Amino acid sequence: MSYAETIDQAVTNCKQQTILMQRCLVQDKLMDALKHASVMLTELRSPLLSPKQYYELYISIYDSLSILSTYFVESHTKRHHLADLYELVQYAGNILPRLYLMITVGSAYLQSADAPREEIFKDMIEMCKGVQNPIRGLFLRYYLSQRTKQFFQADDSEAKKANVNFIITNFIEMNKLWVRLQHQGPLREREQRTRERKELKVLIGANLVRLSQIVEMDFELYRTEILPLILDQVVQCRDVVSQEYLLDVVCQVFPDEFHLGTLSDLLTTILKLNPAVPINKVVLTLVERLNGFVERNTDVEDLTRGLAFMSVEEGDKNLFFIFWKFLSQMSEERPDLSLQELAPVIRGILKLTLRWYPDNISNVDVLFKFMHEKCKDYGKAASEELDSLFHDLLLASEIKSDTAFFMKLLTECDAYEGLLSAQNLRLQKDCANEILDTLTYAEWRITSKAELEKILQVCGSLFKSTTEKASSSLMLDEESELDSGNWTFAPDQEKLAQLTHLCYNKSIDSHSELLLTCRNWFQQSGKNIIYHSPAILANYWKLIRRCQLRSKKKPETREKLHVTMKQLFKHASRIINDLYNACGAGCFDLLYKLNVQTASLADQCELSDIAYDFFSQAFTIFEESLSDSRIQFQAIVNMAQTLQKTRNLHTESYYETLITRCTLHGSKLLKKQDQCRAVYTCSHLWWATEISPLGEEEGVTESFFREGKRVLECLQRSLRVADSVMDNVQSCELMVEILDRCCYYYIHGDETSTHVGVKYINGLIELIRTNLDSSALEINPILGDGSKNTSDFTYIGIDGSYIYRNPASSVATVYNKATPSKAVHLESIPVEHFNRTLQYIRDQKDVDDRFKAINV
Amino acid sequence: MALFFKAPIDIEILLDGEESRKHVEIANSSDSPTARTLKDRYPIYEDGESVSGRVTLRVKEGKKLEHLGVKVSLVGSVDLLKSNGESKKRPAETFLSLSADLCPHGELMHSQNFPFHFKDVEKRYESYRGKNVDVSYYVKVTVFRKSTDIVKHKRFWCLLYNRDALLPAVSSTPADAKSVKLNIGIENCLHIEFEYSKSQFSLKDVIVGRIYFLLTRLKVKHMELSVITRETCGLEPNQLSDSTSIRYEIMDGSPVKGETIPIRLFLGGYDLTPSSQSNYFSIKNYLSLVIIDDDGRRYFKQSEIMLYRKRN
């Protein structure tokens, strides 16, 4: 008898023989049927098939043999006795067909009640030894296990034991064959062998699955009869693929409770594995199972039931303790274990302890300490490939998920910080970043100084790099000084800044202390405080506000709070100074604004001295350091806005001093249009308006600081400047803007007090008109026509920028300079603006009789 | 056949209860190709069994036959096939010859019946038909005449069950039931232990044993067990004649060190010859273990086993 060359041919043959066999069975020609079956089975002897093809063939033959089996059972004792058949099939000359037939008959025989079960089982498994070829043997034994699986429902424990033994024996033999498959064929096909083996692994695993089905909840049986044998085999086979797969299967198929009970055994086995087996995978699987156990059994009763399993063996019920023992044993026995492998194991155990003992910091601490030791032993810094491993370890999602625990860990677990600092800088930074993110996201409140310091220490890596860089060389220093003008986006620093917002303490003093701590730490990072200082300052502002509110609520504490507030302002000042000293040139604008803002706050707190101080500080910066004309203009506007809202500076004529100075600076700006605009803006400084949150009301409050004469002076002055602007368009535009201001004052104040009267307004309108007429000659009529067609509208903004608005889109574009392509339309801008203003005045006539006096 | 036509008398030998007896079917020994697939059926007798029957002499109608007497004899003989392809048999030994006169000389006028009876005949050998040896039993009726005698043979088959004389070992003393253990090896290449339950088997027995691989560096393809029947007789060169009665694969693939391969071979389904020995020939059975490696080389080991017939 021979076999086919290809799989297709083999399957075809097999189908043919099946049909012939069925025909014979219909006619009850058993001998012929067996002959066909045997021819068909000969195909399985083929050594030419790959495992996949063999499996295909096996499936088809399995089906055919099922037909035969059914026939055997049906006609048992009617036409033949299966005991006789069992002997009959022994005469097949070739072992493989013989054994397949034997198993088919044997399993059929087992279905009859009077069959000698034990003997048949024993005989079948014993005879299977005859097939030593790995693939053929594996499939034969798989066939055996498939055929016999229905007979394993045993009631009494003896039978159960026998069944277990049967399966284990089969399993052990299969595993041996499986391992042997690796060593077949030439060496260069090793890879392929391994791949093929992995394809076949299910055949072996099926045995363990079957075991788990029959063992049910009989833990004693599992512990004494099953597991030791399996583990023994796993250890003995010394094969990487096999050990890895089998332990995985063991972990997966048996109940969690069993694992709890036999944890030590499992872990001991892990230590005995082939060094090439990734320990971490196995440990992780195990941990996953145990964690799953907690998850699945939320019921306390179930849990205690599960733990009862443990107590069978472990005197100490502490799961972590067992793992810890395992770890220390491992570090003793396997010093060769690389960090790469160790880290995931630790991570696994970490997961476990977090799940089982969620609040036990000391467990975590021990683990991190262990890892830290290992890192130290390793000597040099871990390579970058390990980064992600350590990252996972340090920032396991289980740790992060509970922020309270995470915080506790950060603050109480020294080893954590130790381990972190043992990593390379990049990783440290990444981790610090993530830690900050986590805290920020959870909006965790840092209340104690110790806590804060710990966190800052953990995040220490974020300060470090810059100090290193700064001290590296003088050249670089200068260079970075130049660069520092640019705000580069620095997420790290931003996160540190965010940290300051997390600080909170009910006590103002403590809170201030927290902020000071931050400040002190941030000092380390040199110039980078440019990123943190605004945040700290903002927090001081908040704190000062809190003082203010509190003092309003409880007037009796006012005195004390007053002192505190002063102190806080001092801190604020210090911070600004620090910033100035650390990176002066880069951030004058910022410093100016911070000063103005702080001053405003001080004013609101009725601390006029302090406010004046900050204002003067701001002016100093303006005078000394703000050189860009644009920024200067903005600074003036900013200052004017702030000053106009101050209320408490009038003591010792601080206010007059400041506004005069402001206006003076405004009038000294470089560009005339800037001068003009600054001055008419400053005119408001003499015309305070109501701030309703302070309880002021127009017409009711009498104490407004208003000096109409000075207002008019300012307006006149700006008009003069506008008139002197050479560019007609600009000049007209400025005049129209001044006209707008005049209207404002005309509406908001009596003519007598503001000195901005009908006469003045009429005169201004007349002036603008004349100017426009004279410039109208310049308007190119053709282009003028064209300008009407254009769909763009152009305006000039309050700060002199050009705004183009396309009606089609809602977003306007702003340019500092008029774009050449659109410059031709510039002439129309003041005209249109003027027209709009006139229209407004006309409209006002309906509301306000006073406007009727204005000639439009 | 030609003799029949010429013969003036027709002799028929009927054994008592022949139809109800068990029969054996033996492949025809004649060399003609057509006959080879045919089988001869012979009634079975045992040692010490009486052989009885009746002889019928039929005279052709209207004729009479003069004779010098009729004798019936029971013969057992060993015949050897001559060497060099000659198919003529050469009687080597007639170990049994009993005879009785059926009727004195006279004239046969019509058909006549003569009963005969050989009581408790001792049959020393078992019937056997091999390549070179033929052990046969037959009843021979001879009608003596002045001219050629008329002879008629009637062959029957003799089976011997478990005779103590030949096989003293079967007396089942515990020592004899001990298993046979053979250590076989090729130095640094293959070392196996071949063990089977006993050295003597009845024809319906099962050979049970195991093969233990102590060392294996061979790439074994498969392993077979076979039973070889060896017939020894006469002189060289045809003295030995082997025939393989069973080929039975017991292992597929290459085992590793420490592996034990079970052996179980049912003999009952095969047509085997018991071992026997006489002055002129001997029949021996060997159990042969054959290992075939990947390159097709065969390694084998033979060891004699005693086969005997045993009553079920």
- Name the minimum distance, in Å, from the CA of A96 to any CA of chain B: 7
Interface contact B244, partner A, CB < 8 A: no
What is the C-alpha to C-alpha distance for residues B64 and B8, in angstroms, rounded to an integer? 8
CB contact under 8 A, B252 and A130: yes
Mean pLDDT value of segment A42-65? 91
| Phi/psi at A205 (5° precision) | -60, -30
Interface contact B260, partner A, CB < 8 A: yes
**In chain A, which residue's Cα lies nearest the Cα of B221?**
A133
**Hey, of A132, A133, A138, which one would you mutate to test binding to chain B, going by the most B CBs within 10 A of its CB?**
A132
pLDDT at A779 over 60: no
CB contact under 8 A, A93 and B249: yes
Look up the pTM and report it: 0.73
Helices (H), A413-528: 414-421, 425-442, 449-458, 460-472, 474-483, 491-502, 508-523
Mean pLDDT value of segment A531-547? 88
Confidence bin at A69 (pLDDT 50/70/90): very high
Question: Residue B139: beta bridge partners?
Answer: B74, B154
Instruction: Return the domain boundaries, chain A.
Output: 1-135
What is the C-alpha to C-alpha distance for residues A665 and A678, in angstroms, rounded to an integer? 9
Among B253, B265, B268, whose Cβ lies nearest the Cβ of A131?
Answer: B253
Residue A788 is predicted with a pLDDT of 45
What is the C-alpha to C-alpha distance for residues A352 and A263, in angstroms, rounded to an integer? 13
To 5 degrees, how large is the angle CA B237–CA B243–CA B244?
A: 150
CA atoms within 13 A on the CB side of A544: 27
CB contact under 8 A, A132 and B255: yes
Confidence bin at A472 (pLDDT 50/70/90): very low
| Phi/psi at A29 (5° precision) | -95, 85
Residue B59 is predicted with a pLDDT of 83
> Domain boundary at B159, B194, B229, which?
B159
Q: Are residues B6 and B153 in the same domain?
A: yes
Residue B34 is predicted with a pLDDT of 59
CB contact under 8 A, A129 and B262: yes
Q: Between β-strands B200-202 and B51-59, what pairing exists: parallel, antiparallel or unpaired?
A: unpaired
pLDDT at A562 over 70: yes
Interface contact B253, partner A, CB < 8 A: yes
Q: Residue B218 has which token pair?
A: 């061979």
Q: Are residues B299 and B250 in the same domain?
A: yes
Can you give the pLDDT of all 312 residues of chain B as single tens digits? 445 556 678 888 998 888 888 888 887 665 555 555 678 888 998 888 889 998 998 887 777 788 888 899 999 988 887 655 555 667 778 888 999 988 888 888 888 888 999 988 888 888 888 877 888 899 999 988 888 888 888 999 998 886 544 444 444 444 456 788 999 888 888 999 999 988 888 888 899 999 999 998 888 999 999 999 988 876 666 677 788 888 999 999 999 889 999 999 999 888 888 888 887 888 899 999 999 998 999 998 999 998 888 876
Mean pLDDT value of segment A573-599? 85
Confidence bin at A474 (pLDDT 50/70/90): very low
CB contact under 8 A, B251 and A130: yes
What is the C-alpha to C-alpha distance for residues A817 and A521, in angstroms, rounded to an integer? 45
Q: Residue A823 has which token pair?
A: 């410059």
- Contact assessment for residue A616 and residue A576, using Cβ atoms and an 8 Å cutoff: no
Among A45, A90, A137, whose Cβ lies nearest the Cβ of B266?
Answer: A90
For residue B3, CA distances in Å to A403, B55, B148 come to 120, 19, 11
What is the C-alpha to C-alpha distance for residues A392 and A402, in angstroms, rounded to an integer? 16
CB contact under 8 A, B252 and A129: no
Q: Are residues B172 and B65 in the same domain?
A: no
Q: Are residues B294 and B250 in the same domain?
A: yes
Residue A178 is predicted with a pLDDT of 92
Residues of A in contact with B227 (CB under 8 A): none
What is the C-alpha to C-alpha distance for residues A527 and A469, in angstroms, rounded to an integer? 11
CB contact under 8 A, B252 and A180: no
Q: Are residues B131 and B252 in the same domain?
A: no
> Under an 8 Å CB criterion, which residues of A touch B?
45, 87-88, 90-91, 93-96, 98, 126-127, 129-134, 136-137, 176, 180
CB contact under 8 A, A132 and B220: yes
Residue with tokens 């953990």: A458
**Residue A652, phi-psi category: left (phi > 0), alpha (psi -120 to 50), beta (remainder):** left
Among A90, A94, A133, whose Cβ lies nearest the Cβ of B264?
Answer: A90
Q: Between β-strands B39-46 and B150-159, what pairing exists: parallel, antiparallel or unpaired?
A: parallel
- Contact assessment for residue B274 and residue B283, using Cβ atoms and an 8 Å cutoff: yes
The DSSP string of B202-258 is ETT-EEEEEEEEEEE-S-EEEEEEEEEEEEEESSTTTTEEEEEEEEEEEEES---TT
Residue B1 is predicted with a pLDDT of 44
The pLDDT > 90 percentage for chain A reads 20
Question: Strand order of the sheet with strand A802-805?
Answer: A793-796, A802-805, A812-815
Residues of A in contact with B222 (CB under 8 A): 95
On the question of a cis peptide bond just before residue B237, with omega within 30 degrees of 0, the verdict is yes
> Domain boundary at B159, B184, B203, which?
B159
Helices (H), A75-189: 82-88, 95-110, 117-127, 134-148, 157-182
Residue A277, classed as helix, strand or coil, is coil
Residue A705, classed as helix, strand or coil, is coil
Confidence bin at A789 (pLDDT 50/70/90): very low
- Contact assessment for residue B157 and residue B42, using Cβ atoms and an 8 Å cutoff: yes
For residue A632, CA distances in Å to A411, A577, A622, A715, A803 come to 47, 21, 7, 20, 21
Residue A37 is predicted with a pLDDT of 93
Which residue pairs, CB below 8 angstroms and at least 24 apart, start in B1-8? Answer: B7/B150, B8/B59, B8/B60, B8/B63, B8/B65
Residue A317 is predicted with a pLDDT of 59
CB contact under 8 A, A132 and B262: no
Greater model confidence, A472 or A308: A308
Among B220, B261, B268, whose Cβ lies nearest the Cβ of A130?
Answer: B261
**Hey, of A54, A102, A129, which one would you mutate to test binding to chain B, going by the most B CBs within 10 A of its CB?**
A129
Least confident residue range of A22-36, A184-198, A700-714: A700-714
Q: Are residues B250 and B175 in the same domain?
A: yes
pLDDT at A66 over 60: yes
What is the C-alpha to C-alpha distance for residues A462 and A499, in angstroms, rounded to an integer? 12
CB contact under 8 A, B261 and A45: no
Interface contact B293, partner A, CB < 8 A: no
Residue with tokens 């189908």: A15
CB contact under 8 A, B252 and A87: no
Among A91, A95, A129, whose Cβ lies nearest the Cβ of B260?
Answer: A129
CB contact under 8 A, B252 and A93: no
Confidence bin at A478 (pLDDT 50/70/90): very low
Residues of B in contact with A131 (CB under 8 A): 251-253
For residue A527, CA distances in Å to A470, A540, A585, A589 come to 9, 20, 11, 16
What is the C-alpha to C-alpha distance for residues A719 and A735, in angstroms, rounded to an integer? 7
CB contact under 8 A, B261 and A132: yes
Q: Are residues B141 and B214 in the same domain?
A: no
Residues of B in contact with A127 (CB under 8 A): 262, 264
CB contact under 8 A, B255 and A45: no
CB-based contacts of A400: which residues, under 8 Å, 6+ apart? A406, A434, A438
Indicate the number of domains in chain B: 2
To 5 degrees, how large is the angle CA A637–CA A639–CA A645?
A: 105
For residue B234, CA distances in Å to A1, A222, B238, B243, B282 come to 38, 69, 7, 17, 10
Residues of B in contact with A87 (CB under 8 A): 266, 268
Least confident residue range of A109-118, A313-322, A794-803: A313-322
Q: Are residues B17 and B135 in the same domain?
A: yes
Residues of A in contact with B261 (CB under 8 A): 129-130, 132
* Element spanning A539, H or E: helix A529-553
Residues of A in contact with B264 (CB under 8 A): 90, 127
Q: Are residues B227 and B141 in the same domain?
A: no
- Contact assessment for residue A414 and residue A365, using Cβ atoms and an 8 Å cutoff: yes
Closest CA to B72 of B17, B137, B1, B153: B153
Among B247, B253, B268, whose Cβ lies nearest the Cβ of A133?
Answer: B253
CB contact under 8 A, B269 and A91: yes
Q: Are residues B96 and B193 in the same domain?
A: no
CB contact under 8 A, A91 and B266: yes
Q: How many CB atoms lie within 10 A of CB A406?
A: 20
CB-based contacts of A78: which residues, under 8 Å, 6+ apart? none
What is the C-alpha to C-alpha distance for residues A436 and A461, in angstroms, rounded to an integer? 12
Residue B55, classed as helix, strand or coil, is strand
Residue A16 is predicted with a pLDDT of 93
What is the C-alpha to C-alpha distance for residues B181 and B199, in angstroms, rounded to an integer? 10
CB-based contacts of B49: which residues, under 8 Å, 6+ apart? B120, B121, B123
Among A87, A95, A126, whose Cβ lies nearest the Cβ of B251?
Answer: A95
pLDDT at A150 over 70: yes
| Phi/psi at A686 (5° precision) | -95, 10
Q: Read off the DSSP letter of residue A694.
A: G
CB contact under 8 A, B253 and A129: no
Interface contact B239, partner A, CB < 8 A: no
Q: Are residues B134 and B182 in the same domain?
A: no
- Name the minimum distance, in Å, from the CA of B35 to any CA of chain A: 26
Residue A747 is predicted with a pLDDT of 84
To 5 degrees, how large is the angle CA B274–CA B280–CA B281?
A: 30
What is the C-alpha to C-alpha distance for residues B191 and A216, in angstroms, rounded to an integer? 44
For residue A18, CA distances in Å to A8, A9, A13, A73, B128 come to 15, 14, 8, 18, 42
Mean pLDDT value of segment A714-719? 90
pLDDT tens track for A731-763: 888 999 999 988 888 888 777 777 778 888 888
Which structural domain range is residue B80 located in?
Answer: 2-159
Interface contact B269, partner A, CB < 8 A: yes
Interface contact B264, partner A, CB < 8 A: yes
Among B253, B265, B266, whose Cβ lies nearest the Cβ of A132?
Answer: B253
CB contact under 8 A, B261 and A129: yes
CB contact under 8 A, B251 and A137: no
Mean pLDDT value of segment A679-689? 88
Q: Are residues B263 and B303 in the same domain?
A: yes
> Domain boundary at B159, B176, B199, which?
B159
